[in-house]
Amino acid sequence: MKKVFSRLLGRIRRKTARLPVTIWLTSVPASTPAAATLYLTGSCNGWTTDDPALAFTFDPASGSYYLALPPGRGTLDYKVCRGSWATIETDADNRAVPNRRYLYSQGPRELRLQVLNWEDQGGIVPLRQHSASPNVHILSPDFPVPQLRRTRRVWVYLPPDYGTGERRYPVLYLQDGQNVFDQYTSFAGEWGVDETLDQLAAHGQDPTGCLVIAVDNVDKHRLDEYSPWRNPRIRRGGEGEQYVDFLVDTLKPFIDHHYRTRPERAATYVAGSSMGALIATYAALRHPAVFGGVGAFSPAYWFAGPSLLAYIAQHAPRPDTRWYFVCGAQEGPSMVPMMTAVRDALHTAGVPDNNLNFNALPDGVHAEWFWRREFAGAYRWLLAGALPGAEAALPTISLA
């Protein structure tokens, strides 16, 4: 009887998951501009903040906003915004709120929510202070990006012993720079890369040391710059080639000239999360002679999956490039399958298993705290390529 009931319950949940879900915003801040468009951003669309398919409709009769979601499965993590991360919803004190979560198999078919505040309208709360370590400085608030006729803030992290000798260091290039070091500038929390590397060095658990170069995104151009291919539904993307060429032809030569770096590919890495992971993957494929390793955190491969897989087939990666993949198993129905497809495509193209580190973790979510937690493991595995023979000798991580 128990088995029969379990099967019946399973059928009911699967049938329920195929029904549409309607989200009602019954209350929004009084300061919400009358002409504003409200959007859902979440794991269902790679956290795109202005996806027209997920725009709420205003209902004059009730004074509420509503959005009918298409049927889905698994878990949906999401927030509400006005079209950018700068306008993300916050709590009554303008502090960051956790991701909202909906389970398709168990949740109600109608949700009634309240938005208490918008980050850009509530000011910075006193608890949100600068948190970058003394080893971090801003290279330039407006570093030229000639390939795109734009400028960009660029951050630099120097290893703790950088000023004590003449040693040269590997370099890691990270995307979404405002989220890498400083909670004050972050739009969804920071990675704490500086604190992590400082602690690894203090505990003798970083055999190489590393410069970290973090490049800010420009919110309105982020989707365009972080993919070389346009997404036909969102109608964004297509500037990724120019952005990657900026990293390789403009930024890297400047960094190698002005800092004591090891410029060779075995000591040059690129990483990012979500769309930043997509462009990091493309960077290593487009410039295989430049990047020796890739860190892909919760990669938004859904944005251009078929194009990326075709590119891998047409542009064989170097077999000695190291690839570190990590995501949460519940980040959305396409996350693990697409990450698996890219991993398998790289393997088919000649990358051996020992250079493909794949991690789909049950508790992982599409959030900075998760990427912060996983950064040390990814960093140490990737940079083992810069220190031959170091991988087997790496001590156990213990930063408590």
Write the CA distances from 195 to 158, 276, 346, 389, integer angstroms: 12, 21, 32, 26
Which domains are present in the chain?
Answer: 2-122 (2.60.40.10), 136-393 (3.40.50.1820)
pLDDT at 10 over 70: no
What is the pLDDT averaged over residues 85-108? 85
Question: What's the pLDDT score for residue 12?
Answer: 34
The model's pLDDT over 213-222, given as tens digits with 9 standing for 90+, comes to: 999 999 889 9
pLDDT at 142 over 70: yes
What is the pLDDT averaged over residues 32-60? 90
The pTM for the full model equals 0.84
SS3 102: strand
In eight-state DSSP terms, residue 55 is: B
Place of tokens 């990590």: 326
Mean pLDDT score across all residues of the chain: 88
pLDDT at 308 over 60: yes
Rg (CA), the chain: 22
pLDDT at 187 over 80: no
Our CA dihedral for 181, 270, 231, 333, rounded to 10 degrees, sits at: -80
Identify the weakest region by mean pLDDT among 33-47, 285-299, 345-359, 372-386. 33-47
pLDDT at 176 over 60: yes
Q: Please report, rounded to a whole number, the percentage of residues in the chain having pLDDT higher than 70.
A: 90
The model's pLDDT over 320-356, given as tens digits with 9 standing for 90+, comes to: 999 999 999 888 788 999 999 999 999 999 999 999 9
Question: What's the pLDDT score for residue 391?
Answer: 40
Question: Could you give phi then psi for residue 345, rounded to 5 degrees?
Answer: -65, -40
The model's pLDDT over 266-285, given as tens digits with 9 standing for 90+, comes to: 999 999 999 999 999 999 99
Question: What's the pLDDT score for residue 19?
Answer: 58
- Give 117-179 as a DSSP string: EEHHHH---TT------TTEEEEEEEEEETTTTEEEEEEEE--TTGGGS---B-EEEESSGGG
Q: Residue 167's CB: how many other CB atoms inside 10 A?
A: 12
Enter the tokens of residue 315.
């542009």
pLDDT at 396 over 60: no
Using an 8 Å Cβ cutoff, are 294 and 286 in contact?
A: no
Residue 271 host element (H or E): strand 268-273
Question: What's the pLDDT score for residue 18?
Answer: 56
Rounded to a whole number of angstroms, the distance between the first and last alpha carbons of the chain is 48
Q: Residue 5's CB: how many other CB atoms inside 10 A?
A: 9
Enter the tokens of residue 213.
């170069």
Q: HSE-up of 164 (CA within 13 Å, CB side)?
A: 4
Enter the tokens of residue 271.
């990483």
pLDDT at 4 over 80: no
Using an 8 Å Cβ cutoff, are 39 and 82 in contact?
A: yes
